[in-house]
């Protein structure tokens, strides 16, 4: 009987995964870092633009950004759940 990818992933420790799949481990870490970096850049850019070009008050716009990040944190697990129900290729490309 052939093991599924999920069974294999559960059977590996972190050290085993890093030693067996170093490139995928590095790419996964970079992908996670990229998500954080993109969020930082877009919120910093948006704050600068909104306060200088649109005359938003800094306090109000920081509240808007904070609310958006809270909504993202609350909604993201539902997106992950839905993505787990789709084939991997469709979930990544959509």
Q: Is 83:91 a contact under the CB 8 Å cutoff?
A: yes
Q: Is 29:40 a contact under the CB 8 Å cutoff?
A: no
Q: Is 28:46 a contact under the CB 8 Å cutoff?
A: no
Residues of the domain holding 13? 5-93
pLDDT value at position 37? 93
Average of per-residue pLDDT across 20-31: 90
61 band by pLDDT with thresholds 50, 70 and 90: very high
Q: What is the C-alpha to C-alpha distance for residues 64 and 41, in angstroms, rounded to an integer?
A: 16
Domain count, the chain: 1
Alpha carbon distances (Å) from 69 to 63, 64, 79, 85, 86: 10, 9, 15, 25, 25
62 band by pLDDT with thresholds 50, 70 and 90: very high
pLDDT value at position 1? 45
């Amino acid at each position: 009987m052939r093991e599924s990818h999920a069974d294999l992933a559960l059977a590996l420790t972190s050290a085993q995964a890093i030693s067996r799949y170093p490139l995928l481990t590095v790419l996964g870490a970079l992908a996670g870092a990229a998500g954080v970096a993109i969020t930082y850049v877009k919120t910093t850019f948006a704050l600068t633009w909104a306060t200088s070009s649109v005359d938003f008050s800094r306090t109000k716009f920081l509240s808007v950004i904070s609310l958006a990040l809270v909504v993202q944190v609350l909604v993201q697990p539902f997106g992950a759940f839905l993505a787990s129900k789709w084939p991997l290729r469709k979930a990544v490309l959509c």
